Chain A
Amino acid sequence: MNLIRENLFPLLAFGAGIGAARLGLAPVERGGMIVLCFLVFLVGLSVGGTPGILALMKKMKGRIFLIPLGVILGTAAGNIVAALLFSGISLRQALLGGAGYGYYSLSAILITEQGEPVLGAMALVSNMMRELATLAGAGLMARFLTPLGPIMAGGATSMDVTLPAVTRFSGADYAPLSFVSGLLLSIAVPFMIALISMILP
């Protein structure tokens, strides 16, 4: 049920928007931006208000930062390779597409609101693929790519949507690590998209 709620409903909402546009409904001027600000405010409330979050991070010491940092740097490195190998993909496209770390709603909307709907659509699809690949492949990843595998793949989603898969296949010991990594990556998304957009205008 959760899986349907988390994956099917967002797609339906997106599809309904496309359908409405095809029927002639015009985009709401700055409507997305206002809801977006509300959304990130809620993300902040949720993350900042997590009970015992600072204590949990202190317990894990500096090690906890290595996993989300690895996701950020590893994703960027992979994106750079993709841009080098495929002439149709620019470095900017590749880096912005990757910088959602699976958080498709946030990253796609941020990019679309920058006035780049084509790239926003690509980020949406790419990050959905990342989430679905993690959900579908967590078992294999945990087995062949160390217990960190599903956490690295899950990226920002490893705090909620893919956390059950991590718990199941990497083991419950990895759940706190997964949660904190996903949380830090969720916060990192708007910063990374702003940073990449600034460096590669």
Chain B
Amino acid sequence: MTVILFLVLGLLIGWKLKLAGTPRKIIHQALTLSIWILLFFMGLDIGSDKNVLQQWGRIGGKAAVITFFSLLGSFAAGFIVWKKVMDR
């Protein structure tokens, strides 16, 4: 997958260059900016998709259920890690 390729490429170059200070700040600003641009594109995609607009109410409900259970499962796993490893 193309996306994973770019991720690994970034990891390797970043690791080689050992970025600190100003270059790091610039990367983080570019990161923030590209997230905004991406979300704008995503808004474009979603705003021109009739299905999304029609199902908006159901999307929110499903998202809340998934978030709730994601958190529940993560907490359960956190308890196990805590009991087994951290709490000595």
Contacts and interface: CB of A to CB of B under 8 A. Distances in A.
Interface residues of B, number: 73
Nearest to A25: B44
Interface of A (DSSP majority class) = helix
Interface residues on A, range: 35 or more
A54 B74 CA distance: 26
A129 B59 CA distance: 13
Given A17-B46, A44-B10, A67-B81, A152 B75 contact: yes
B34 A74 contact: no
Nearest to A22: B47
Contacts, number: 287
Contact of A26 (B31, B48, B52): B48
Contacts of B31: 39, 42-43, 46
Contacts of A13: 35-37, 39-40, 43
A148 B55 contact: no
Given A14-B39, A48-B14, A49-B15, A27 B59 contact: no
A44 B40 CA distance: 22
Interface of B: 1-4, 6-20, 23-24, 27-28, 30-32, 34-49, 51-52, 55-56, 58-60, 62-82, 85-87
